[in-house]
Chains A and B, each alone.
Chain A
Amino acid sequence: MRTLSLILLAVPLMAQKHGAGRTPTDQEIRGLGATVAPDGTGLPEGSGTPAEGRALFAARCAKCHGEKAMGDVGPRLVGGQGTLATAQPVKTVGSFWPHATSLWNYINRAMPFNQPGALSHSEVYAAVAYLLEINGIIGPKDTMNARTLPKVRMPNRDGFVPDARPDIKR
């Protein structure tokens, strides 16, 4: 994304003008919950393995995503690698998502769909580990945590380009 040209707002660092609001404590900011950058900044403690994730997925995710994660009420979460440039692209976590960290961030905030926020941080690592493993991205013995997850290289890591519009000239 470095190529995305940014014209920064000319925001002057002037003295506080309206004095609205108050300064939050660090604890209050942490209390808002984890938010994770592609380089892993913001990932919390905890860890999970594909094996732990397999059990969790069967219990908490499979009823919507299917036993083999092939999709049902919720979208398909496995396969599709090599299809993006074809007439029938299959976009999944494994084939499309550029960053493994985004997967942790999303599952932590939004899944299970009917109980978002219910998983512990380690359960989220386990779910991520399982999805990465069934997509052939990590091995069955690889443990995911704040140090290992950012190092995972997703197959479609370089598959994104900046907005090129307007792309149609008269």
Chain B
Amino acid sequence: MAKTSRRQALRLGAALGSGALAQGEEARLLGTPLGPYGERSRHVTSVRTMRQTRTPEAGSSATPLAETYGIITPSALHYERHHAGIPDIDPATHTLTIHGLVERPLVLTMAELRRLPSVSRIHFLECGGNSGGEWGAKTGPDVQRSYGLASCSEWTGVPLRLLLEEVGLKPKASWLIAEGADACRMQRSVPIVAALDDAMLAYGQNGEPLRPAQGFPLRLLTPGWEGNVQVKWLRRLHVTDQPYMTRDETSKYSDLMPDGKARLFSLPQEAKSVITFPSGGHTLDRPALLELTGLAWSGRGRIERVEITFDGGATWRDARLDEPRFRLAFTRFRLPYRWDAKPAAIASRATDETGYVQPTREQLIAARGANSGYHFNGIKFWRIAAGGQVTNADA
């Protein structure tokens, strides 16, 4: 506009249907001033979805996975799963007690915990029941309502190993009974195994203290394992020589097999992936070159490969994986995709560093029947209609 004459500018303004577009004609409005705490744009409206329930304190809310970029979930959109609501805890009075089969029982304040050597790492967190609807016919129409009980954050905390060294485990110590300070005093038994080398007592999430919904001021983080065992609002670790067989590890989060036996302590979340664009609820408005994208993760390590099918699983092509790829974290995958306005059945298939390949839903059902409810990690198909509507192929 710099060289446009005033008359031209006026004509341009009129042509654009605005009376005063010309530079210098009318001053621009200043934006809002500085503020102590940032809010997102009022034009950005993505929110968690909540399942209908008469007891919202014992419910779940799902992350809008298709509306997040990269691998980090904004803390305010991290999925929730609570059993007795979110407690309001004053970190100045909250303590963690470690007792049982230890040489030196300890009670620690938050200030004492925060002074200990710490680590920050990026890890996914996924509910053991995520995508459980896919076992049957109860799945959601879109990626949020079918796969949204998974999120990924940078967590900061004290390595669990450091605290176990601090208290000194007695020879028979083999389980930790972790207990939360929520109203139901959530309790889970945690085996003391090598995988716990990744575990931490986390007080930080994405650069700030944990959000209350993720356990403020302290939670157990056992990266890669099902969410329920990573007890929020952590108030005690009781060291024992046996699991306590609590309600949420027997009645719930156990996998019922067709022979009537139920598998216990299915802790690592197996390799899984889902396409977030295009996915259920999207509409492709015209043939175009698009970027297909999605997320992959494994509770057994790094994601090594993600393949994409456009023809219902007949042929597969490698997607590009964003670097760096972290162990036990979301990995973002992308692949250019020319949609030619023909119907398609698209899906992703992840392989992790152990060589484990994400199975099909049919393989899972053949191995476990359709009543195990939890720990579903089958290949997820979305159906694209000729008109461009994308739907959940399994709904």
Q: Which residues of A contact B (CB under 8 A)?
A: 1, 4, 6-9, 11-14, 16-18, 20-24, 28-29, 32-33, 35-39, 73-74, 84-85, 87, 89, 91, 93, 96-99, 101-102, 105-106, 109-110, 113, 116-117, 159-168, 170
Contacts and interface: CB of A to CB of B under 8 A. Distances in A.
A86 B330 CA distance: 37
Interface string B344-382: 000000000010110100011001100100010000000
B224 to A, nearest CB: 13
Given A12-B165, A160-B250, A163-B267, A29 B105 contact: yes
Contact of A21 (B57, B58, B108, B191): B108
B260 A85 contact: yes
Contact of B184 (A73, A87, A109): A109
B266 A165 contact: yes
A84 B116 CA distance: 48
Contacts of B264: 1, 4, 160-163
A62 to B, nearest CB: 16
A159 B97 CA distance: 33
Contacts of B266: 163, 165
Given A35-B177, A91-B251, A162-B264, A20 B115 contact: yes
Interface stretch (B40-48, B119-127, B193-201): B193-201
A102 B245 contact: yes
A161 B263 contact: yes
A-B complex: 5 closest residue pairs judged by Cβ atoms = A85-B260, A110-B184, A84-B260, A21-B108, A21-B106
A106 B244 CA distance: 11
A166 B375 CA distance: 12
Contacts of B99: 24, 29
Given A105-B246, A166-B270, A23 B105 contact: yes
B84 A116 contact: yes
A105 B247 CA distance: 8
Interface residues of B, number: 78
Interface string B183-213: 1110100011110110000000000000000
B261 interface: yes
Contact of B262 (A16, A159, A165): A159
Interface string B239-265: 010111111001100111111111111
Contacts of B187: 35, 105, 109
Most buried by A among B57, B235, B257, B260: B260
Given A35-B179, A38-B245, A20 B260 contact: no
Contacts of B54: 73
A112 to B, nearest CB: 11
Contacts of A38: 242, 244-245
Contacts of A89: 256, 260, 371
Most buried by A among B115, B164, B191, B267: B191
B306 to A, nearest CB: 15
Interface string B64-87: 000000000000000000011000
Nearest to A1: B243
Given A6-B193, A36-B244, A85 B259 contact: yes
A111 to B, nearest CB: 8
B238 A35 contact: yes
A89 B261 CA distance: 11
B169 interface: yes
Contact of B192 (A8, A97, A168): A8
Contacts of B105: 23-24, 29
A38 B113 CA distance: 32
B49 interface: no
